[in-house]
Structure 1
Amino acid sequence: MKPETLKKRLDKNRPMTTITVRIPADVIEDLKRVAPLLGFSGHQSLARTYIGQGLRSDLELLENDAVLALIASLKRHGVTDEVIQEALVDVAQR
């Protein structure tokens, strides 16, 4: 991640947006149970942390110039977006 982007991400006063996400009740209960054990004030802050970690991991992968060049080349050679997306998911899960 670029230093200026990281600096913005670490700003505690950046704007927030409210969203609605359907999450299974048992997952929410687990978040509520685990959050205080990990030092979080509540389950929502823990969920935001998990989302942020996954997003940063994916952004790191996708912002790599070599990966972007490879994706562009694959598209020029007729590889579908669906196949490329499946491959990116495979790589991210390793």
Structure 2
Amino acid sequence: MKPEALKKRLDRNRPMTTITIRMPEDVIEDLKQVAPLLGFSGYQPLARAYIGQGLRADLERLEGDTVSALIASLKRHGVSDDVIQEALGEVTGR
């Protein structure tokens, strides 16, 4: 994730919106039971955390797939591994 996007994600004062989602009652009961054990103030913050974790994992996977595809394309176009590694180092700050 880009540093700018990460900074926004960590802002506790991000705007929120209300949604309605249908979930099985037993799942809600399980969330209510687990939330305090994990240090959450209620089941809704826990549900948001679970959604956020899954979303971040998918975004990372999808961004990684794009980067992998780009690297493969650059190699097919004759760009050397050294140049690709140097460019990746510039982008990632390594």
- SS of the residue corresponding to residue 56 of structure 2 reads helix
Q: Distance in 2 between matches of 1:66 and 1:2?
A: 13
Q: Distance in 2 between matches of 1:47 and 1:5?
A: 21
Instruction: Confirm whether residue 29 of structure 1 aligns to residue 38 of structure 2.
Output: no
Q: Which runs of 5+ in 2 are unaligned?
A: 72-94
The corresponding residue for 2:67 is 66
CA shift digits 1:13-41 (9 cap, x unpaired): 00001000000000000000000000000
Deviations 1:61-82 (A, max 9, x none): 1112335559xxxxxxxxxxxx
Whole-Å Cα distance in 1 between the matches of residues 44 and 69 of structure 2?
Answer: 33
Q: 1:13 to 1:68 in 2, by over 3 A?
A: farther
Count, aligned residues: 70
2:4 equivalent in structure 1: 4
> 1:79 is matched with which residue?
none
The TM-score normalised by the length of structure 2 is 0.69
> Please, what is the CA RMSD of the aligned residues?
1.6
**How far apart in 2 are the matches of 1:59 and 1:17?**
21
Contact 1:62 1:68 in 2 (8 A): no
Q: Structure 1 residues 26, 68: CA separation in 2 closer, same or farther (over 3 Å shift)?
A: farther
User: Which is higher, the Rg of structure 1 or of structure 2?
Assistant: 2
Name stretches of at least 5 consecutive residues in structure 1 with no aligned partner. Answer: 71-94
- Could you tell me which residue of structure 2 aligns to residue 55 of structure 1? 55
Which structure has more relative contact order (CA 8 Å, sep 6+)? It is 1
